[in-house]
Amino acid sequence: MEYHPLTKAIRIQTERTHEMEHSTPMFLTSSFQFENAEDMRAAFADETDDNIYSRFSNPGVQEFTDKMCALEGAEAGYATASGMSAVFASFMALLKAGDHLLACNSIFGSTHTIITKYLPKYGIEYSYVSADKPEEWAAAIRPNTKMLYLETPTNPGLDIIDLEAAGKLCKEHNLIFNVDNCFATPVNQRPVEFGADLIVHSATKWIDGQGRVLGGVVVGKKELIKDIYLFCRSSGPALSPFNAWILSKSLETLDVRMERHAGNALSIATQLQNHPQLNWVKYPFLPTHPNYEIARKQMRNGGGLFCFELKGGLESGRKFLDSLQLMSLTANLGDTRSIASHPASTTHAKLTEDERQAVGITPGLIRISVGLEYADDILNDILQALEQC
Ligand SMILES: *Cc1c(COP(=O)(O)O)cnc(C)c1O
């Protein structure tokens, strides 16, 4: 019988050992043994799928990867030590000198650094298009454009990009469509259904979901993953078997966790909507979100993040962070613990005012990663902090 992806996220498991364990053990081994010279020769000649060395493959890492492929509806995948190594490998394996990468302007900071600082060192050109001007994207495609890269919802502004329209554009122009699906997670949004060829993830965020380990994964078309696998096998960003064990276990509860994160986020965002100290509140599943219709089309729920703009600007933003009693001030997101961030004074402080403006980071912007605490406790913490601003 063919099971639903959510069942597979629980039931996919490495072959049981003679101990008949119910849950998966950890495969903390750097290499694997062979019975004889012939078996070893065949493994090295790629005639078998036998594990050789944990930089190439490891049963626990494969279990996590297989679950991610099932959830995303993807053919194949490779798991990495962090989200950034997944992003980097997807560029390095598939782009070459003379190619052009088209990327959406509101992307994760380190991804921006790789694109602008490192890709040009290898002769790979790039240009950015605006998340809120999809009508301009087609004109930005050059004869040597090889890949389109985007994130949706975007960070930290939570804009929604129409995956179906982007998928069509890539098909028309024969581009590799590469989507960072970290913010939505595969239980909420499946870019493959809209034509994505590759999906990258930081598993560090919602997938782990408890702020314990780093991890990443790239899944997608078999022939593209093969090149990524060969690049990673030689360059070494392999996911540790310990982290894979944690992340595979985490996938068993991803769907129920995300439902609660999203339920809390929608309820809190709704109750803050008309607060006198806020200019606006933005959450993909609030009808006031400018891309609400697209969000409803491509997402099952609105996710665990929302943001708002304080009327008082930069000083208010800092005051807001200082006044929080429950929420954490930390550089992560996607945790059981709610987290507040003020991009203008922290993650995006190095950008110029104009650069911040271009990606919607206003001085009073606050982003909340909604945790699994009791929703009223989270809301009340925000309300009492707003009183201090
Ligand atoms: C955190 C993050 C990354 C990078 O992941 P790491 O696991 O920290 O390397 C990439 N994309 C997005 C959207 C992220 O939030």
Q: Summarize pLDDT for 144-164 with one digit per residue, the tens.
A: 999 999 999 998 889 999 999
pLDDT at 40: 97
pLDDT at 350: 80
What's CA 43's distance to the chain center, in Å?
Answer: 33
Q: Summarize pLDDT for 69-120 with one digit per residue, the tens.
A: 999 999 999 999 999 999 999 999 999 999 999 999 989 989 999 999 999 9
Binding pocket residue ranges, ligand 1, CB within 6 Å:
82-84, 108, 110-111, 151, 155, 180, 182-183, 202, 204-205, 214, 216
Q: Summarize pLDDT for 230-271 with one digit per residue, the tens.
A: 999 999 999 999 999 999 999 999 999 999 999 999 999 999
pLDDT at 166: 97
Query: What number does the ligand 1 atom closest to the CA of 333 have?
Result: 15
pLDDT at 88: 98
Domain with CATH 3.90.1150.10 in the chain: 254-386
Kindly state the average pLDDT of the residues 369-380: 98
For residue 127, list its beta bridge partners: 102
Give backbone dihedrals phi and psi of 11, rounded to 5 degrees, phi first: -95, -15
For residue 238, list its beta bridge partners: 80
Q: Summarize pLDDT for 283-313 with one digit per residue, the tens.
A: 999 999 999 999 999 999 999 999 999 999 9
Helices (H), 187-291: 222-235, 241-251, 254-272
Is the N-terminal amide bond of 156 cis, ω within 30° of 0?
Answer: yes
Kindly state the average pLDDT of the residues 6-31: 96
pLDDT at 208: 98
Architecture per CATH, 5-251: 3-Layer(aba) Sandwich (3.40)
> Among 202, 240, 307, 332, which is best to mutate for testing ligand 1, by the most ligand atoms less than 8 A from CB?
202
- 186 and 72 Cβ atoms separated by less than 8 Å: yes
Q: Which of 286, 275, 283, 279 is nearest to 383 (CA)?
A: 275
pLDDT at 340: 97
- Say how far apart CA 266 and CA 290 lie, in whole Å: 16
pLDDT at 356: 86
Q: In what order do the strands lie in the sheet with 176-180?
A: 76-80, 216-220, 198-202, 176-180, 145-151, 100-104, 125-129
pLDDT at 311: 96
Tell me the CA–centroid distance for residue 205 and ligand 1, in Å: 7
Looking at CATH, the fold of the domain delimited by 254-386 is given as Aspartate Aminotransferase, domain 1 (3.90.1150)
Task: Tell me, yes or no, if the pTM score tops 0.85.
Answer: yes
Tell me the CA–centroid distance for residue 373 and ligand 1, in Å: 23
> Among 110, 150, 213, 218, which is best to mutate for testing ligand 1, by the most ligand atoms less than 8 A from CB?
110
Query: What number does the ligand 1 atom closest to the CA of 183 have?
Result: 13
Task: Please determine, for residue 13, whether its predicted confidence score (pLDDT) is greater than 90.
Answer: yes
Q: What angle do CA 371, 374, 380 make, to 5 degrees?
A: 95
Domain with CATH 3.40.640.10 in the chain: 5-251
pLDDT at 335: 98
Sign, CA torsion 172/140/229/234: positive
Q: What is the mean pLDDT of the chain?
A: 96
Helices (H), the chain: 5-11, 37-44, 59-72, 83-94, 109-113, 163-173, 222-235, 241-251, 254-272, 292-298, 313-323, 353-358, 375-388
pLDDT band for 346, please (50, 70, 90 cuts).
confident
Tell me the CA–centroid distance for residue 182 and ligand 1, in Å: 7
Tell me the CA–centroid distance for residue 120 and ligand 1, in Å: 21
Q: What angle do CA 281, 314, 291 make, to 5 degrees?
A: 25
